[in-house]
Amino acid sequence: MQTGGDIPEVPGRPDERDRRRVGVDEWVASHDERLADRAGFGKLGRWIDARVPPWARLLIFAAFAATLPLWMSRGDLFVYGIFTLIYILLGLGLNVVVGYAGLLDLGYVALFGFGAYFYALLDSPKYGLHWPSAVSIPIVVASTALLGLILGVPSRRLLGDYLAIVTLFFGQAFVVFVNAANPRNLTGGPNGLADIDPNDLFGYELVTRKQQYWFILGVVLLVLIGLYFLSESRTGRAWRALREDPLAAEAMSMPVNRLKLLAFAFGAAIAGLTGCLFAAVLTAVTSGNFALPILITIYAVVILGGIGSLTGVVIGAIVINVSFQFLAPENSQTNARILFYGAVILLLALGVKPLWRLALVLAGAVVFGLVAHAIASGISESWTNGVVVEGGRLAHVISEWVIIPTGHQRFANAAYLALIVLVLAVTRIRGWLQTALLIPTVYLTAVVWETSFVEEPAVARWILFGALLVFLMTVRPQGLLGTPRVEIV
Amino acid sequence: MSETEAPARPLLELKQVTKTFGGLTVADHLDLEVNEGEIVSLIGPNGAGKTTAFNLITGLYRPDSGEIRFEGRDLVGLPPHKITQLGIARTFQTLRLFLNMTVKENVMAAAYGHTRSTVFESIFRLPRARREEREIAALAEEKLAFFGQRLAGYRHQQQAYNLSYANRRRLEIARAMGTNPKLLLLDEPAAGMNPNETLELTELIGRLRTEGGYTVLVIEHDMHVVEGISDRVVALDHGVKIAEGSYDEVATNELVIEAYLGLEGAASA
């Protein structure tokens, strides 16, 4: 353990990360991490990484997830429970290709679709085949893996953007194929395939939502355990190594091309498996289930959670699916409203730094609103007698605070434009004027929300969702639980 | 390793190896031999074709003509990972570590070539996968221990990007050792190191042979290092071998001085 007498002792690990240690490698290298820590999420992620061992995380997740059916209604269990699990599985599969091996695969959703359609063909009245899951699922998984292997062939020569375009083409071709260009109506065209059998556990059919949920949860847990072991094995390390530097990986005895294909096949196998579960739960598949928006959502799951992190994928899937379903058009607008005002306050709390300034802005906005409301109603009744969309305790407060006119069609548009101008101004201006400008900005945000968006939750949820992602990615580019990636120091 | 008797044939043998890029000849009928247990230095001015020679040996370039043999086996046409598995490992002059992996993982990843567990065995943690994991971890610790305090203790769990420049150079060597090679190719291991660290490295390369049992071929610009470690020195210029012999022979060779200093410098020297 020693080399000679004249080697100086290495200094111990810096105990306080924030103590200035200019010139010390660790202190300099962790500069970005410290910046991220100030935003709040970073500390949480690191704390989880350092303090909660993987098996404990799994146990917490399993314990919580297993109790879900006991207190959730049947419909809620479907959209919140089962869909989240499906997203977790899809995220885990994509994470192998994108997170571990670093291959940008935009055709992933087609593999999911292939699995679902193939299962549907094997287990539906379409051809009168009703194979037991113990037979059909392995067949589907193996064929999807093979298809993934074929999809991965271009990755031997193409990287990054080029690979992304080729695989994206594959994904789009799949949608076109199932919709139109298929022989003998194999996939049922735009109508898709219906009356798909539920999964069965060695002959015992899983027909109730609770059974299906627990079955899929079991699959998720097994996949999580398997992937954890795999990521800590020679193959997992080789994947990460080739993500970091393919040339060095090749020079360090790793067969890079074979490993890339393996990653593609492995991700595809998980996608195929998910397809089987998805088709069985939904009992029908159409091409719309496997189009671009789903791909984007899966990517959002992986990116939000933190690329390369299993815990991150699980948390990303929960956050995205729950907030998405929460804002579904058939839900009451109260949900969207709570989420919206919550997001605004969170944004202000993170962005407006000294606490007194934050208090000033919030209090200012309340007063500003009350004054504006009083003036508006003083001018004419028609300026404030608009109907607040849907109930909830919040609605009553809002009707006394936000200007919602009837008639005055152009008001909403004018407010929208004014808001954009104000937001731009706030980002450019510093100091006292910024604080002052924030007050009408916050108020105008509420006005625009109440007059334009709250009535159209389908639009509003995409906007909310996009804003959430943009904000999070700006504050924490590596995702909630991802480790910051360093290219060159 | 047999230091006592000279082996019948050299461990590594390049015969008349030629490589051109367009009109530029980067290796011109190059002959090179490295015997088992030797430390050979490759010197020459920038652009002389030293790194090219490494790239040819490790399979990153394919020679236009000529033969490259390792333990008598022809290497031409083999993919780089196969060549590494046969027992040749290199470091990179430009440092190509797996930056976002820990120090220990960097070395463990290099063990891929001499481990055999399949994906299936890894997922289910079958006995062979478990045994190999233990062996790889022990191997990584052993290789890192070669560098004493420099890469010890908490540094095992640090991301590679946290390391200083000199430590990254050391980790490059440790990672190459992780492939269990017989022959180590070190590409300017002392570049960017301070005099103390250079001294330490000179000593380390000696220990690579005595304690590690490696044969070493090293590209180096620092003449103190070259003088300190070399059994034999080979000088290249424009892809041609211009001199070979002991350090003193090569250092006083006129062609070598000319290559480094130009004709006028050689005249006044």
- Please judge whether A230 and B162 are an interchain contact, meaning their C-beta atoms are less than 8 angstroms apart: no
To the nearest whole number, what is the mean pLDDT of chain B? 90
The verdict on A290 and A418 lying in the same domain is no
Q: Which chain A residue lies closest to B106 (C-alpha atoms)?
A: A241
Please, which pLDDT band fits residue A355 given cuts at 50, 70 and 90? confident
More confident of the two residues A183 and A152: A152
The domain boundary, picked from A326, A348, A368, lies at A326
Output the CA angle B124-B130-B135, nearest 5 degrees: 155
The verdict on A309 and A457 lying in the same domain is no
The verdict on B23 and B9 lying in the same domain is yes
Please tell me the distance in Å from A46's CA to the nearest CA on chain B.
14
Work out the percent of chain A whose per-residue pLDDT is above 90: 36
The verdict on B52 and B185 lying in the same domain is yes
Tell me the residue length of chain B.
269
Amino acid identity of A270?
I
The domain boundary, picked from B162, B179, B196, lies at B179
Please, which pLDDT band fits residue A2 given cuts at 50, 70 and 90? very low
User: Residue B111: which domain range?
Assistant: 102-179
Is A400 a residue whose pLDDT tops 90? no
**Cα–Cα distance, A367 to A423 (Å, whole number):** 20
**Cα–Cα distance, A346 to B190 (Å, whole number):** 52
The verdict on B83 and B185 lying in the same domain is yes
Q: Give the one of B80, B115, B204 whose C-beta lies nearest to A251's C-beta.
A: B80
Is A454 a residue whose pLDDT tops 90? no
| Count of Cβ atoms closer than 10 Å to residue B20 Cβ | 14
The verdict on B170 and B195 lying in the same domain is no
- Please judge whether A3 and B148 are an interchain contact, meaning their C-beta atoms are less than 8 angstroms apart: yes
Residue A101 lies in a domain: yes
User: Residue A384: which domain range?
Assistant: 334-475
pLDDT tens figures, B243-267: 999 999 998 888 988 888 776 655 5
Residues 392-431 of A with CB under 8 A from B: none
Q: At what angle do helices A292-305 and A310-326 cross, to 10 degrees?
A: 130
Q: Is A454 helix (H, G, I), strand (E, B) or coil?
A: coil
The verdict on A361 and A466 lying in the same domain is yes
The verdict on B186 and B264 lying in the same domain is yes
Which pLDDT does position B265 carry in this prediction? 54
Q: Which chain B residue lies closest to A1 (C-alpha atoms)?
A: B148
Which pLDDT does position B186 carry in this prediction? 95
Residue found by looking up tokens 């006119």 in the block:
A405
- Using the Cβ of A10 and the Cβ atoms of chain B, whether some distance falls under 8 Å is answered with yes
Segment among A43-57, A275-289, A308-322, B28-42 with least mean pLDDT: A43-57
- Tell me the pairing of strands B73-74 and B65-70: antiparallel
Residue A177 lies in a domain: yes
The verdict on A275 and A406 lying in the same domain is no
- Please judge whether A253 and B101 are an interchain contact, meaning their C-beta atoms are less than 8 angstroms apart: no
Q: Which of A234, A254, A485 to mutate to test the interface with B (most CBs of B within 10 A)?
A: A234
pLDDT tens figures, B104-152: 999 999 999 999 999 999 999 999 999 999 999 999 999 999 998 888 8
pLDDT tens figures, B149-183: 888 888 888 888 888 888 999 999 999 999 999 99
Dihedral sign, Cα of residue B168, residue B171, residue B175, residue B177: positive
The verdict on A124 and A195 lying in the same domain is yes
pLDDT tens figures, A128-143: 888 998 999 999 999 9
User: B218, B39 in Cβ contact below 8 A?
Assistant: yes
Is A333 a residue whose pLDDT tops 80? no
User: A282, A188 in Cβ contact below 8 A?
Assistant: no
- Using the Cβ of A161 and the Cβ atoms of chain B, whether some distance falls under 8 Å is answered with no
More confident of the two residues A418 and A51: A418
CB contacts < 8 Å between A and B, how many?
Answer: 153
Amino acid identity of A82?
I
Please, which pLDDT band fits residue A215 given cuts at 50, 70 and 90? very high
| Count of Cβ atoms closer than 10 Å to residue A256 Cβ | 22
Q: What is the mean pLDDT of residues A331-356?
A: 75
**Cα–Cα distance, A452 to A203 (Å, whole number):** 53
CATH number of the domain residue A255 falls in: 1.10.3470
Please tell me the distance in Å from A451's CA to the nearest CA on chain B.
48
Is B184 a residue whose pLDDT tops 90? yes
Which pLDDT does position B175 carry in this prediction? 96
The verdict on B76 and B4 lying in the same domain is yes
Which pLDDT does position B159 carry in this prediction? 86
Q: What is the mean pLDDT of residues A212-228?
A: 96
What is the C-alpha R_g of chain B?
A: 19
**Between the CA of residue A19 and those of A39, A347, B77, what are the distances in Å?**
18, 29, 54
Please tell me the distance in Å from B109's CA to the nearest CA on chain A.
5
The verdict on A197 and A340 lying in the same domain is no
Q: What is the mean pLDDT of residues A73-96?
A: 93
Is A116 a residue whose pLDDT tops 50? yes
Which pLDDT does position B23 carry in this prediction? 86
More confident of the two residues B81 and B157: B81
pLDDT tens figures, A405-425: 777 778 888 888 898 898 888
Which one-letter DSSP state was computed for residue A451? I
How many domains is chain B partitioned into structurally? Answer: 2
CATH number of the domain residue B19 falls in: 3.40.50.300
The verdict on A248 and A392 lying in the same domain is no
The verdict on B160 and B220 lying in the same domain is no
Q: What contacts A238, CB < 8 A, 6 or more positions away? A: A249, A254, A259, B109, B112
The verdict on B77 and B118 lying in the same domain is no
Q: Which chain B residue lies closest to A234 (C-alpha atoms)?
A: B112
Please, which pLDDT band fits residue A457 given cuts at 50, 70 and 90? low
The residues pairing with B65 across neighbouring beta strands, listed in sequence order, are: B18
Residue A32 lies in a domain: no
The verdict on A86 and A163 lying in the same domain is yes
The domain boundary, picked from A275, A307, A326, lies at A326
Is A66 a residue whose pLDDT tops 70? yes
To the nearest whole number, what is the mean pLDDT of chain A? 83
Which pLDDT does position A27 carry in this prediction? 64
The domain boundary, picked from B123, B153, B179, lies at B179
Please, which pLDDT band fits residue A159 given cuts at 50, 70 and 90? confident
Q: Give the one of B98, B155, B167 whose C-beta lies nearest to A245's C-beta.
A: B98
The verdict on B171 and B191 lying in the same domain is no
Q: Which chain B residue lies closest to A487 (C-alpha atoms)?
A: B99
Residue B92 lies in a domain: no
The verdict on B187 and B269 lying in the same domain is yes
Which pLDDT does position A3 carry in this prediction? 44
Is A95 a residue whose pLDDT tops 90? yes
- Please judge whether A237 and B109 are an interchain contact, meaning their C-beta atoms are less than 8 angstroms apart: yes
Which pLDDT does position A30 carry in this prediction? 64
The verdict on A188 and A96 lying in the same domain is yes
- Residues of B within 8 A of A255 (CB-CB) are 79, 81
How many domains is chain A partitioned into structurally? Answer: 2
Residues 19-48 of A with CB under 8 A from B: 25-26, 29-30
Q: Which chain A residue lies closest to B54 (C-alpha atoms)?
A: A251
Residue A221 lies in a domain: yes
The verdict on A283 and A432 lying in the same domain is no
Q: What is the mean pLDDT of residues A72-83?
A: 89
Please tell me the distance in Å from B158's CA to the nearest CA on chain A.
9
User: A265, A148 in Cβ contact below 8 A?
Assistant: yes
Please, which pLDDT band fits residue A347 given cuts at 50, 70 and 90? confident
Residue A459 lies in a domain: yes
The domain boundary, picked from B146, B162, B179, lies at B179
Please tell me the distance in Å from A253's CA to the nearest CA on chain B.
4
The verdict on B169 and B186 lying in the same domain is no
Residue B134 lies in a domain: yes
The verdict on A273 and A407 lying in the same domain is no
Q: Is A384 helix (H, G, I), strand (E, B) or coil?
A: coil
Q: Which chain B residue lies closest to A252 (C-alpha atoms)?
A: B110
The verdict on A286 and A338 lying in the same domain is no
Q: What is the mean pLDDT of residues B80-89?
A: 95
Q: What is the mean pLDDT of residues B213-218?
A: 95
Q: Give the one of B58, B100, B132 whose C-beta lies nearest to A486's C-beta.
A: B100
- Using the Cβ of A487 and the Cβ atoms of chain B, whether some distance falls under 8 Å is answered with yes
- Residues of B within 8 A of A306 (CB-CB) are none
- Encode B184-202: b = buried (16+ Cβ within 10 Å), e = exposed: bbbbbbbbebeeebbbbbb
Which pLDDT does position A489 carry in this prediction? 47
User: B207, B219 in Cβ contact below 8 A?
Assistant: no
Q: What is the mean pLDDT of residues A441-460?
A: 79
Is A80 a residue whose pLDDT tops 70? yes
Q: Which chain B residue lies closest to A229 (C-alpha atoms)?
A: B123
Please, which pLDDT band fits residue B211 given cuts at 50, 70 and 90? very high
- Residues of A within 8 A of B152 (CB-CB) are 1, 10
pLDDT tens figures, A320-329: 898 888 777 6
Amino acid identity of A351?
G
pLDDT tens figures, A258-301: 999 999 999 999 999 999 999 999 999 998 889 888 998 999 89
The domain boundary, picked from A300, A326, A352, lies at A326
- Please judge whether A226 and B97 are an interchain contact, meaning their C-beta atoms are less than 8 angstroms apart: no
- Please judge whether B122 and A229 are an interchain contact, meaning their C-beta atoms are less than 8 angstroms apart: yes
Q: Give the one of A1, A253, A487 whose C-beta lies nearest to B112's C-beta.
A: A253
Residue A114 lies in a domain: yes
**Cα–Cα distance, A171 to A290 (Å, whole number):** 9
Please, which pLDDT band fits residue A45 given cuts at 50, 70 and 90? low
Is B217 a residue whose pLDDT tops 80? yes
Q: What is the mean pLDDT of residues A179-190?
A: 80
- Please judge whether B81 and A251 are an interchain contact, meaning their C-beta atoms are less than 8 angstroms apart: yes
Q: Give the one of B113, B148, B163 whose C-beta lies nearest to A253's C-beta.
A: B113
**Cα–Cα distance, A80 to A322 (Å, whole number):** 6
**Cα–Cα distance, A82 to A168 (Å, whole number):** 27
Q: What is the mean pLDDT of residues B12-32?
A: 92
The verdict on B187 and B220 lying in the same domain is yes
